[in-house]
């Protein structure tokens, strides 16, 4: 039973991560500009935040879930604003003539930036709850060990997606020159900014 729950967790984690949104675009851009480690850690930050929200949904932490969803507007506003700022920064940044090694603070920043951005969407809890229901997983009704297996599966599935994406993009990196990176920055900046504007627009619409 627990192995089945773990496998379901892997599928759920992979499915939650796979749609290419602003984090996916950011992961691709960082992989091309800074290398696979930076791109993968950007994805890993999002995977960690997804796992945290999956944990809340799985263990049935109603108080935490209610608090986060009640602060949905404020968190989404902060996330939309951050996306807009990040998009503009990406758009106007100029690629280096050669790749610099990204270590220490650079890799930590890649991880924590996407972790915090992903946390600004607390409705992910509801997405997990809906998917758990579709898979026949009853949230708080899952045993303690089963919940741990489920969350472990979610993290593994999400991490697997980001590893595959960063690895795939990394194979193309050798063929990318400064001129291409220039356009990657411009296109990525526009896409990320549009995502941010849409988030802000949706807030004011509701």
Quote the pLDDT of residue 95. 62
pTM of the model as a whole? 0.73
Please write the tens of the pLDDT for every residue from 41-85: 999 999 999 888 888 877 765 565 566 666 677 777 877 787 788
Please write the tens of the pLDDT for every residue from 152-185: 988 999 999 999 999 988 888 777 766 777 777 7
Residue 206 token pair: 């509701």
The residues spanned by each domain of the chain are 2-205
Q: Is the pLDDT of residue 195 over 90?
A: no
CB 169 within 8 Å of CB 74: no
- What distance in Å separates the CA atoms of residue 165 and residue 85, rounded to the nearest whole number? 24
Q: What is the mean pLDDT of residues 16-23?
A: 81
Q: What is the DSSP letter of 93?
A: P
CB 155 within 8 Å of CB 3: no
Quote the pLDDT of residue 172. 82
Instruction: Name the band, by pLDDT with cuts 50, 70 and 90, for residue 98.
Output: very low
Contacts of residue 49, Cβ cutoff 8 Å, sequence gap at least 6: 114, 115, 116, 118, 119, 124
Q: How far is CA 150 from CA 7, 9, 13, 98, 153, in A?
A: 8, 5, 10, 42, 5
């Amino acid at each position: 039973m627990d192995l089945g729950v773990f496998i379901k967790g892997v599928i759920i984690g992979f499915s939650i991560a796979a749609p290419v949104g602003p984090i996916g675009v950011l992961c691709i851009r960082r992989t091309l500009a800074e290398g696979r480690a930076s791109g993968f850690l950007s994805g890993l930050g999002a995977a960690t935040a997804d796992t945290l929200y999956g944990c809340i949904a799985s263990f049935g932490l109603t108080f935490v879930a209610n608090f986060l969803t009640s602060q949905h507007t404020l968190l989404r506003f902060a996330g939309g604003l951050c996306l807009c700022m990040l998009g503009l920064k990406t758009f106007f940044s100029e690629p280096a003539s050669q790749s610099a090694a990204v270590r220490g603070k650079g890799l930590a920043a890649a991880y924590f930036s996407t972790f915090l951005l992903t946390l600004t969407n607390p409705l992910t809890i509801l997405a997990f709850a809906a998917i758990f229901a579709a898979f026949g997983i009853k949230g708080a009704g899952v045993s303690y060990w089963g919940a741990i297996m489920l969350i472990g599966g979610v993290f593994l599935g999400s991490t697997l997606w980001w590893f595959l994406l960063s690895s795939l993009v990394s194979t193309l990196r050798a063929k990318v020159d400064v001129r291409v990176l220039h356009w990657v920055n411009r296109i990525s900046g526009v896409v990320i900014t549009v995502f941010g504007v849409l988030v802000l627009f949706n807030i004011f619409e509701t």
